[in-house]
Amino acid sequence: MQEFRINRQSDPKRQFTIDQDGTLRVAQRLDREDISSYKLIIEAFDAAGNVGTQLVAVYLRDVNDNGPEPYTVPKYCVFPENTPVNQQGTCEIRCTDKDSPEYGPPFNMQLDQSKWKYGEFLSVTFDARTLFSVVVFP
């Protein structure tokens, strides 16, 4: 008789189980953004107490389950009043994505003109170099 088990140091969150016939199964929902791969140590025991081990590498394939997350550079965009336009700084809006690169940038950013009420005060330029940022300036 032989017995299988997963060395829990290689699976501390207990994401996997193994049947006594050696079938490895997913026990809990996997999230590539949390852990992208596992190196499971499978241990086999026989009736005499002999132990064998096998390393099983599990790689998670990403799905596009996260949307782009916008942020600004600098963190707080401030345009002081009574300051000449040529002395004002800029505010850059960028995006990141937790998904793998195939689902990340370049992002398509658009400005909804019907909701943009600051057009007479601020200009918006899409950065063609990076394809994932927008620059706002007075």
Instruction: Give the separation between CA 66 and CA 61, rounded to whole angstroms.
Output: 14
Boundaries of domain holding 38: 2-59
For residue range 65-123, list pLDDT tens digits in order.
778 888 888 898 888 888 888 888 888 888 888 888 877 777 777 777 777 777 766 77
Question: pTM (2 decimals)?
Answer: 0.60
pLDDT at 128 over 90: no
Residues 6 and 51 in one domain: yes
Instruction: Give the number of other Cβ atoms within 10 Å of residue 106's Cβ.
Output: 10
Q: What is the mean pLDDT of residues 47-69?
A: 89
Residues 54 and 105 in one domain: no
At residue 7, the pLDDT reads 96
Examine residue 54 and state whether it is found in any structural domain, yes or no: yes
Residues 18 and 78 in one domain: no
CATH number, residue 29: 2.60.40.60
Residues 73 and 133 in one domain: yes
Examine residue 64 and state whether it is found in any structural domain, yes or no: no
Examine residue 6 and state whether it is found in any structural domain, yes or no: yes
Q: Assign 103 to helix, strand or coil.
A: helix
pLDDT at 41 over 80: yes
